[in-house]
């Protein structure tokens, strides 16, 4: 019997398909209303108590409806096991809300003094669940779009545009900005400031026009941290996290899209790769936060925890944002700065596929761990390190050591300040790590020698590794370009490394990405120089645009002084720098039609 001959209730797997659809649509409407009420409640500082509780009741009623609707649709469903499997995330959120409300009503008297009342706590839990439900529904929508076979490059661009837009709107609310306690009026951040900050955070750049620590409130700082956490890993990656966490299957088209974005060539390996990324990210960021807590001993423990978590996430995502107005200036002597922060930056900059390859390599070679879970469902045979992982590792080590020695030697020329060799080497090491994509600084970069700035521009242009949280044209791209030149000088017609031959298509793509990067960088620099009309600081303008394109975030201190047209150029450059290499790589990966003919060859003059 075909599906069309089945009864309607069997087609929809529910006794009341129409009523279920109506309940589901009302859930979406209630979610939008609850989210708007939450944003207004926390976005506006000066609202009356009556409006405050009206909005609060709206949020709580929305959560009550979600729970009742989910319960009714569960009772109507023909296969309740399948319903639980399909709506596990929604059940988890509603169950969390119900249990939290019950715990608040029963055990509130046992809470410590100073804790808010029952109604306020219930409202807070309802707001958290509303935001969590909205995030989940948004990611499910993005996953459905990616599963429809749309151009992956278009999906990447659209996801970042949505993230930047949401971040801009949230940062424009008065509660995101520090307010003057002596002034009764509230003041919101200007549109261009919010847009610049949101773009910089979403594209994990780190360039700022206002100090993060003193201009933005704790709410604004949290928004910025969430933006560069999502922007560093990618919205589609977060969507895949939800799919993997709640056992949802991934369609073939969706799996192909994630494979191309995450640089994984094994279609069936995407689920394990995504879970590994989630595990590595959480473990690395929490471990980094633990070691960074001693960097601010003068702060209360709550502030120390927040500071350490913020800088750990910023370091791992290669974002470069700091809660201190002078970044990490004059803090290079702390072991947390020269040890922990570079470790976070390097791990985040190696790339997800490389970290996963090293994880599986270590498990299969040095461990007898045999738990058969999705994350540890590793192959029974030993896994080798791929050519890509080894090439990334060697290139990264070469750039780190070469960058440290280069900065140390270049700054030793015409040195004006009396600095010990250890301090100078320590500074050179940290900047060698951060110049390639992170954006932190322990010294005033405006005082660097011109030749050191040119060297830094080269390092920024190279950037981090493919499939990582960093930017630039990527280490492997530059490595393949160098290997191509070396093979040409040796008279070979192919590129060979580590006993393998690199396909010519990858060499052509690498050269294309480098050419496009130079074109974008020169165009952005041309516009900024033209708008600013300051020939005396041309090198600083080139430094700034390179930092924006490579999503590094270091600056010589001229970002806030640029004119609005230059700010727009920097915003566009950061966006292109973040999504450009990704979209270019995905677009170049798509194969065009194959032809059975070729035109006759004819040589042209090269020089």
pTM for this prediction: 0.81
Instruction: Specify the pLDDT at position 297.
Output: 87
User: Given pLDDT bands bounded at 50, 70 and 90, which one contains residue 308?
Assistant: very high
14-24 pLDDT, tens digit per residue, is 778 888 888 88
The model's pLDDT over 548-575, given as tens digits with 9 standing for 90+, comes to 999 898 888 898 889 999 999 999 999 9
Q: How confident is the model at residue 592 (pLDDT cuts 50, 70, 90)?
A: low
What is the pLDDT averaged over residues 334-361?
88
CB 285 within 8 A of CB 269: no
Examine the pLDDT at 3 and tell me if it is beyond 50: no
- Give the pLDDT confidence score for residue 529 in this predicted structure: 93
User: Taking 80 as the threshold, does the pLDDT of residue 532 lie above it?
Assistant: yes
Q: Is the pLDDT of residue 493 over 90?
A: no
Residue 594 has pLDDT above 70, yes or no: no
One-letter-per-residue 3-state SS of 437-480: CCCCCCCCHHHCCHHHHHHHHHHHHHCCCCCCCCCCCCHHHHHH
Q: Which residues pair with 177 in a beta bridge?
A: 216
Mean pLDDT value of segment 243-258: 52
Contact, 178 vs 216, CB < 8 A?
yes
- Look at residue 408 and tell me whether its pLDDT is greater than 70: yes
Q: How confident is the model at residue 185 (pLDDT cuts 50, 70, 90)?
A: low
The Cα 334–Cα 394 span in angstroms is: 28
Q: Which of 137, 297, 158, 164 is nearest to 226 (CA)?
A: 164
- Over the stretch 142-182, which tens digit does the pLDDT of each residue have? 667 666 656 666 777 777 888 899 899 889 888 888 887 77
Average pLDDT, the chain: 81
Helix (H, G, I), strand (E, B) or coil at 323: coil
**Sign of torsion over alpha carbons 300, 306, 312, 314:** negative
Q: pLDDT tens, 52-95?
A: 778 888 889 999 999 999 999 888 888 888 888 888 888 899 99
The pLDDT score that the predictor gives to residue 170 is 86
398 vs 392: CA distance, rounded Å: 10
Contacts of 496 (CB under 8 A, 6+ apart): 487, 502
Stretch 301-315: mean pLDDT: 92
pLDDT at 194: 92
Predicted local confidence at residue 372, as pLDDT: 47
Per the CB < 8 A criterion, the answer to whether 230 and 315 are in contact is no
CB of 506 within 8 A of CB of 476? Answer: no
Question: Any residues with CB less than 8 A from the CB of 416 and at least 6 apart, and which?
Answer: none
pLDDT at 4: 42
pLDDT of residue 380: 57
Please report which confidence band the pLDDT of residue 530 belongs to, taking 50, 70 and 90 as the band edges.
very high
The CA distance from 568 to 565, in Å, is 5
Is the pLDDT reported for residue 136 higher than 50?
Answer: yes
Specify which residues 496 forms β-bridges with.
501
Query: SS3 of 204, please?
Result: coil
User: What length does the chain have?
Assistant: 607
């Amino acid at each position: 019997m075909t599906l069309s001959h089945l009864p309607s209730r069997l087609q929809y797997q529910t006794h009341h398909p129409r009523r279920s659809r109506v309940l589901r649509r009302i859930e979406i409407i209630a979610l939008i209303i609850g989210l708007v009420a939450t944003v207004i409640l926390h976005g506006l500082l000066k609202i009356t108590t009556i409006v405050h509780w009206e909005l609060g009741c709206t949020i709580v009623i929305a959560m009550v409806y979600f729970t009742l609707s989910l319960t009714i649709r569960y009772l109507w469903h023909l296969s309740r096991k399948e319903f639980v499997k399909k709506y596990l995330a929604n059940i988890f959120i509603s169950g969390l809300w119900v249990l939290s409300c019950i715990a608040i009503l029963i055990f509130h008297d046992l809470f410590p003094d100073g804790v808010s009342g029952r109604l306020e706590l219930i409202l807070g839990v309802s707001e958290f669940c509303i935001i969590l439900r909205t995030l989940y529904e948004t990611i499910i929508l993005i996953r459905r779009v990616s599963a429809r076979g749309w151009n992956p490059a278009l999906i990447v661009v659209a996801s970042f545009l949505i993230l930047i837009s949401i971040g801009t709107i949230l940062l424009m609310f008065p509660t995101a900005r520090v307010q003057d306690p002596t002034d009764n009026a509230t003041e919101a951040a200007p549109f261009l400031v919010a847009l610049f900050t949101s773009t910089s955070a979403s594209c994990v750049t780190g360039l700022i026009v206002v100090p993060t620590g003193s201009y933005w409130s704790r709410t604004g700082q949290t928004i910025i941290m969430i933006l560069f956490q999502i922007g560093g890993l990618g919205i589609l990656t977060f969507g895949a996290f939800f799919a993997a966490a709640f056992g949802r299957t991934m369609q073939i088209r969706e799996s192909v899209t994630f494979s191309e974005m995450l640089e994984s060539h094994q279609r069936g390996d995407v689920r394990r790769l995504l879970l590994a990324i989630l595990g590595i990210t959480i473990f690395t960021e929490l471990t980094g936060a633990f070691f960074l807590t001693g960097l601010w001993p003068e702060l209360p423990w709550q502030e120390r925890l927040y500071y350490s978590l913020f800088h750990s996430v910023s370091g791992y995502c290669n974002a470069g944002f700091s809660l201190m107005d002078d970044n990490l200036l004059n803090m290079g002597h702390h072991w947390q700065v020269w040890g922990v922060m570079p470790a976070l930056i390097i791990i985040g900059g190696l790339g997800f596929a490389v970290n996963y390859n090293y994880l599986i390599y270590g498990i299969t070679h040095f461990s007898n761990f045999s738990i058969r879970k999705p994350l540890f469902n590793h192959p029974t045979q030993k896994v080798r390190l791929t050519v890509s992982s080894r090439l990334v590792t060697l290139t990264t080590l070469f750039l780190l050591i070469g960058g440290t020695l280069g900065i140390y030697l270049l700054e030793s020329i015409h040195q004006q300040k009396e600095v010990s060799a250890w301090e100078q080497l320590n500074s050179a090491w940290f900047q060698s790590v951060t110049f390639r994509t992170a954006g932190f600084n322990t010294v005033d970069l405006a005082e660097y020698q011109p030749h050191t700035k040119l060297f830094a521009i080269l390092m920024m242009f190279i950037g981090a590794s493919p499939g990582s949280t960093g930017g630039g044209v990527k280490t492997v791209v530059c490595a393949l370009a160098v290997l191509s030149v070396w093979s040409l000088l040796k008279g070979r017609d192919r590129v060979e490394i580590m006993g393998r031959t690199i396909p010519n298509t990858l060499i052509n793509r690498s050269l294309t990405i480098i050419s496009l990067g130079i074109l974008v960088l020169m165009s952005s620099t041309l516009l900024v120089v033209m708008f600013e009309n300051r020939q005396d600081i041309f090198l600083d303008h080139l430094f700034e645009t390179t930092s924006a394109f490579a999503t590094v975030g270091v600056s010589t201190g001229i970002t806030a002084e640029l004119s609005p047209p230059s700010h727009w150029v920097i915003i566009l450059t950061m966006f292109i720098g973040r999504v450009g290499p990704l979209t270019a790589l995905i677009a170049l990966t798509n194969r065009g039609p194959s032809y059975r003919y070729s035109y006759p060859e004819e040589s042209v003059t090269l020089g």
